[in-house]
Copies of this chain bind each other. A is one copy, B any other.
Amino acid sequence: MSEKVTILQVAERAGVSQSAVSRFFTPGASVSKKTADKVRMAAEDLGYRPNVLARAMASGRSRIIGLVVAYLENYFYPEALEKLSTALQAKGYHVLVFMASQTAGNIDQVMEEILDHQVDGIILASVAMSSDISARCQQLGVPVVLFNRAQDIEGIAAVTSDNRAGGRRVAEFLMAGGHQRIAYIAGWEGASTQRDREAAFREALSGAGRDLFARAVGNFSVEQAEQAARDMFSVPAGERPDAVFVANDHMAFAVMDVLRFELGLRIPEDVSVVGYDDVPPAAWRAYNLTTIRQRANLMVAETVRAMFEQIDTPDTASPCHVQIEAPLILRGSARIPDDWPTEG
């Protein structure tokens, strides 16, 4: 097991000082070509690579971003994680993952753990935090950005899709489609995304003088969504919804399957189904789900931007809630109004 080669060895071999070597490996350096050459050679010969940990320790910047995620079962998150990690890697940063599953205790504990790692920033994906912890991060100078969740804590960055606009759009679409009995299956009611989607959806309905015909809670869980669908649709034809907006795709798939395979309903002839997220399976032909697209690329880009704005200019940064436009993707699970504008 060969010794780890240190900066000191390189310095000796190159016949320069330790700091010279350090400078050589520092992007914004100021090293003469001569010194640079000597260092380069010595480093190559020795197979030297700077120790990131030591560098972090000495400089106070770890170039690590803590990411806490809760639901990888919702396929929006793996996608986001991949893009996030890639984007961060491109900037020389890396992602340290913290699962916030039930087993891991509450978020605040996880946050403490993250802070222990001297991360340069924290991204909370579909996770809310106490204002206590938020304050703690702020006083520690650690930037936080919420991904796909908003929170009413001032000065905390958040990026989501425009959930309200999305919810409204679905309502308009469903009404334009001539649906008379419009239902909603909610996600976890603690989620800001769920609340915004629903609020705007209902507002648009009542704005048109209509009421929600039925409502159930699926809690972003497949099992609960199935049960909700069963309960909601196991009634005489005249009393059953002719359209249902499901708070996310993941639940929508489950709902569709109950409707088609358990209850023998046709989609969209008997009932239109609309989801939210546009995860890849929504495009699979067996589902072909009409849904609101959360543009992962843009959301990630904004998240990264918000993060580095805070890292690079902690003083002038003004964290805010950015909402990415969320288009309705027309597919086959919901009747399309004749006069509905098509893209292009």
* A residues neighboring B (CB under 8 Å): 1-2, 4, 49-54, 56-57, 62, 64, 72-73, 75, 77-79, 81-82, 85-86, 89-90, 94-99, 101, 103-104, 112, 115-118, 138-141, 253-254, 256-257, 260-261, 280-281, 284-287
Contacts and interface: CB of A to CB of B under 8 A. Distances in A.
Contacts of A254: 284
Given A75-B75, A89-B99, A115 B64 contact: no
A101 to B, nearest CB: 6
Secondary structure of the A side of the interface? Answer: helix
A116 B86 contact: no
Contact of A103 (B86, B112, B141): B86
27 contacts: A2-B139, A2-B140, A4-B140, A49-B115, A51-B116, A51-B118, A53-B53, A54-B57, A57-B57, A64-B96, A72-B78, A72-B81, A73-B280, A75-B75, A78-B78, A86-B101, A86-B103, A94-B97, A94-B98, A96-B96, A97-B97, A256-B286, A257-B285, A260-B285, A260-B286, A261-B286, A286-B287
Contact of A141 (B1, B82, B101, B118): B1
B52 A117 contact: yes
Given A52-B118, A85-B99, A286-B287, 19 more contacts: A1-B140, A49-B116, A51-B116, A54-B57, A73-B280, A75-B75, A77-B78, A78-B81, A82-B101, A86-B99, A89-B98, A94-B117, A95-B97, A96-B97, A253-B284, A253-B286, A257-B285, A257-B286, A260-B286
Contacts of A260: 285-286
A97 B96 CA distance: 6
Nearest to A47: B136
Contacts of A141: 1
A90 B99 CA distance: 11
Contacts of A103: 86, 90
A165 to B, nearest CB: 28
A256 B281 CA distance: 13
Contacts of A72: 78-79, 81-82
A280 B254 CA distance: 12
A15 B239 CA distance: 75
A280 to B, nearest CB: 7
Contacts of A64: 96
Interchain residue pairs A-B with the least CB separation, the first 8 = A286-B286, A78-B78, A257-B285, A72-B78, A72-B82, A1-B141, A52-B116, A95-B97
